Chains A and B, each alone.
Chain A
Amino acid sequence: MALIELNGVTKYYEMGDQVVKALDGIDIDVEKNDYLAFIGSSGSGKSTMLNILGCLDKPTSGQYHLNGKNVESLDPNELSEIRNLEIGFIFQSFNLLPRATALGNVMQPLVYRSIGYRKRKEMAMESLERVGLGDRVDHLPNQLSGGQRQRVAIARALVTHPSILLADEPTGNLDSQTTIEIMQLFDELHAEGHTLIVVTHEDEIAQHCHRVVEMKDGKVFNDSTTNSAAVTS
């Protein structure tokens, strides 16, 4: 069974009298250790896709099975738990807690798992060292560069050992050099066996991925395995 199974997933928003079909009947499976990019222009439904996949939002209709669990029947608290256990988010604007240090930020998801302080610190340190930030753990986000902040965010996503890493325009706020570094890190994580799903509109980013799903008007327009997949894996 696939890690992610979407069957006829739709997401409609009502804007006054109009119904906007952000997702319009999506069927897609994602296997374990997949390295997948959703691409598409703005308004194509890829952000909605990310919200649904990340269990931040529920589909209007259709079914979403994550790791064998049907997400549809869960209440907000259960969704929080799923996000905590199964999903690691990496955002375009990093979304770090501004008043917590790098270490504090990485430790935060473990708080919601009721893991004690010492164990949390140990796990967070391990994760920060993995992304190469072992020496900046006591810095606040505003004392870090963009690339370093994104590394903290990646460390935070990794610390819970999630089933999937969900990245939303992960390099959108970074310069080209840092972008290369971050994408290298992604490649490494994929090589280590992580499942990565990246939402992007940049072709260079998509080229790193195994599989590119192009979206248009809430539908899957094209689903292909790229050549670079062979190179990276």
Chain B
Amino acid sequence: MLFSLIESSRSALASIIAHGLRSFLTTLGIVIGVASVIAVISVTQGMSSFIGDTFASLGSNSLTIQSYTPFEDQMKGIRARLTPEDMELIEKRAEGIASITPVLFANRASQIKFGSQTAFSRIMGTTYAFQDVSQSYMSLGRFIAQSDNLTRRRIVVIGDKVRENLNMPDNPINEYVDIGGEWFKVVGLMEAKGEIMGQSQDDIVLMPYNTMRSLQGNQARTDIQIQLSLSESAVVEDVTQQLTTLLRNAHDLDSYEDDDFQIQTAEQLMETFDTVINMVTIVIGGIVSISLLVGGIGIMNIMLVSVTERTREIGICKAIGAKRHHILMQFLIEALLLSLLGGLIGLAIGYGLGTLISSSIPSFPAASIPLWSVALALGFSGFVGVLFGILPAAKAANLDPIDALRYE
């Protein structure tokens, strides 16, 4: 068995090389098919693993609660809100929470000035606990302290992108910035976190929560976001359930009414992204695998031509003692080698293509080829080779030696 395998491969290889151009054109279908499959997979998988990494750095056991108003209600002028009272309630009653912090977004233009430079940024009011919840680390200075909040100090902690946009010195500590006509002293610079899907994580300005509230004036309509991190032992689902019950009671919702708030976990977000990316991979992969089938048909076609062309050769081989399986193996292995060769070339081109795509789009994650996709591509092209090689090979093997020898 092994002997005839080696001998068949030897003669198949010789025949492939003898018809170099034809072999290349035959495998082109497989090359293109595999290359596109691999390119698609490498790009989406690179994206997926990148997203996974980013969300892990966000803290996988953190929760964000924000108000949610269905579009219909928005049209009626109703606005759901999360209030500081809601947060107090959660702080007192909910279990399994390590730290909790309100986040209040600036409701006026989020313009920030330094000297003559003006920039726009996400300006948020929050507390010392934000550092823990969002897993932020300081590169210079300090974070917002509890006392800053109590005394409503005019201080800010800025992200690295803000410093860059405002042309501030490398060490911006103790510089003053202008937000909404008020002066704030920079006390801290946060470590750079990079980007998620093209959005900078470092383009933020944090000030004490109470300072932000006092700036906003109308406190009755405050709508805050609550961010919290869970203690080690807490189960995300349990806490989510608990929070839902607490907030529904606090908001006097009847059982038929929908939640007027949303609880999001970083993990949930990640799963959503993953699902989308996997769907894209499967759909595009499916479309592209059709081209592999077409490539397989191309191989079958050429193999059939090749069998006809070599009818006399087959007759000679049979006359000098080739059995059915010798001929079958030779043609089957030729088809298999052709498509595997195409698969290998396609793999290389696909990887190159994926790398090219991901490097030509700025801030796009690097392409990565998981091992399973290599196995899949080679396995599938091998399968295609065998599948579409069987018919021509059987045709060759079943030739009658006398007819084959007479064939002109």
CB-based contact B322/A99 at 8 Å: no
What's the Cα separation between A14 and B232 when bound, in Å?
89
Comparing B149-157, B265-273, B313-321, the segment that makes contact with chain A is: B313-321
Residues of A within 8 A of B402 (CB): 51, 56-57
A112: Cβ under 8 A from any B Cβ: yes
Interface residue ranges of B383-402 to A (CB < 8 Å): 401-402
Chain B neighbourhood of A100, CB < 8 A: 14
User: Bound state CA distance, A56 and B322, in angstroms?
Assistant: 12
**Does A2 reach chain B (CB closer than 8 Å)?**
no
Cβ–Cβ contact B320 & A84, under 8 A: yes
Q: Is A97 an interface residue (CB 8 A)?
A: yes
Q: Would you call A112 and B313 a contact (CB within 8 A)? A: no
Residues of A within 8 A of B14 (CB): 99-100
Q: How far is the CA of A142 from the CA of B4 in the complex (A)?
A: 28
CA distance A99 to B14 in the complex (A): 8
Is B319 a contact of A56 with CB atoms below 8 Å? yes
Question: A28 contacts the other chain (Cβ, under 8 Å)?
Answer: no
Asked if residues A85 and B316 are in contact (CB atoms below 8 Å), the reply is no
Which has the most chain A C-beta neighbours within 10 Å: B18, B316, B325, B405? B316
A77 to B323, CA, bound (A): 5
Pick the residue among A57, A81, A114, A160 that contacts B3 (CB under 8 A).
Answer: A114
- Contact assessment for A156 and B320 in the assembled complex, using a CB-CB cutoff below 8 Å: yes
| Interface check A179, CB cutoff 8 A | no
Closest to A97 in B: B313
Residues of the A chain whose Cβ atoms lie less than 8 Å from the Cβ of B15 = 99
Kindly provide the distance from the CB of B207 to the nearest chain A CB, expressed in whole angstroms. Answer: 82
Task: Name the B residues within 8 Å of A160 (CB-CB).
Answer: 320-321
Cα distance A77–B325 when bound, in Å? 9
Q: Is A54 an interface residue (CB 8 A)?
A: yes
| Interface residue from B316, B318, B405 paired with A80 (Cβ < 8 Å) | B318
Please, how many angstroms separate the alpha-carbon atoms of A218 and B310 in the complex? 32
B405 in contact with A112 (CB, 8 Å): no
A98 within 8 A of B: yes
Choose among B3, B312, B320 the residue that contacts A83 (Cβ–Cβ < 8 A).
B320
Asked if B317 and A108 sit within 8 Å, CB to CB, the answer is: yes
- A68–B3 Cα distance when bound, in Å, is 30
A186: Cβ under 8 A from any B Cβ: no
**Dominant secondary structure at the B interface:** helix
What separation, in Å, do the CA atoms of A108 and B315 have in the docked complex? 13
CB of A95 within 8 Å of the partner chain: yes
The verdict on B326 contacting chain A, using a C-beta distance below 8 Å, is yes
Is the pair A76, B324 in contact by a Cβ cutoff of 8 Å?
A: yes
Report whether A84 and B321 are in contact in the complex, using a CB–CB cutoff of 8 Å. Answer: yes
Chain B residues closer than 8 Å to A84, beta-carbon distance: 320-321
Q: Is the CB of A80 within 8 A of B7?
A: no
The answer to whether A109 touches B3 (Cβ under 8 A) is no
By a CB distance below 8 angstroms, the chain A residues around B316 are 95-97
B299-319 vs A: 1/0 string, CB under 8 Å?
000000000000011011111
Determine whether the beta carbon of B324 is less than 8 Å from that of A108: no
Which residue in chain B gives the minimum CB-CB distance to A78? B323
Of all chain A residues, which has the CB nearest B401?
A56
Contact B324 A109 (CB under 8 A): no
Q: How far is B316's CA from A111's CA once the two chains are assembled, in angstroms?
A: 13
- The CB with the most chain A CB atoms within 10 A, among B14, B15, B315, B317, is that of B317
Let me know if B319 and A99 touch, CB within 8 A.
Answer: no
Q: Which residue of B lies closest to A85 (CB)?
A: B321
- What mask results when residues 275 to 298 of chain B are scored 1 for a CB within 8 Å of chain A, else 0? 000000000000000000000000
A95-B405, A97-B313 known; A83-B319 Cβ under 8 A: yes
Considering the complex, give the chain A residue whose CB is closest to the CB of B404. A56
Q: How far is the CB of B356 from chain A (nearest CB, A)?
A: 39
A114 to B322, CA, bound (A): 11
CA distance A51 to B318 in the complex (A): 13
How long is the Cα–Cα vector from A84 to B318 in the complex, in angstroms? 9
Residue of A nearest to B321 (CB): A84
A112–B319 Cα gap in the complex (Å)?
11
Contact between A113 and B319, CB atoms less than 8 A apart: no
Minimum C-beta distance from B311 to chain A (A): 12
> Does residue A35 face the partner (Cβ distance < 8 Å to B)?
no
Q: Name the A residues within 8 Å of B321 (CB-CB).
A: 80-81, 83-85, 109, 112-113, 160
B66 to chain A, nearest CB (A): 74
Interface pair B319/A54, CB less than 8 Å apart: yes
**Do A80 and B323 form a contact, CB below 8 Å, given A114-B3, A114-B4?**
yes
Q: List 24 A-B contacts (CB under 8 A).
A: A51-B402, A56-B401, A80-B318, A80-B321, A81-B321, A81-B323, A83-B318, A89-B319, A91-B405, A95-B312, A95-B315, A95-B319, A99-B14, A100-B14, A108-B317, A109-B320, A112-B321, A112-B326, A113-B321, A114-B3, A114-B4, A116-B3, A156-B320, A160-B321
Interface residues in chain B, defined as those with a beta carbon under 8 Å from any beta carbon in chain A: 3-4, 7, 14-15, 18, 312-313, 315-326, 401-402, 405
Interface residues of A (CB under 8 A from B): 51, 54, 56-57, 76-77, 80-81, 83-85, 89, 91, 95-100, 108-109, 111-114, 116, 156, 160
What are the 8 A-B residue pairs with the smallest beta carbon separation, nearest first?
A: A84-B321, A112-B321, A109-B320, A80-B323, A77-B323, A95-B316, A114-B3, A56-B401
Known A-B contacts: A83-B320, A98-B313, A112-B320. Give 12 more (CB < 8 A): A56-B319, A57-B402, A77-B325, A83-B319, A84-B321, A95-B315, A95-B316, A99-B14, A100-B14, A113-B321, A160-B320, A160-B321
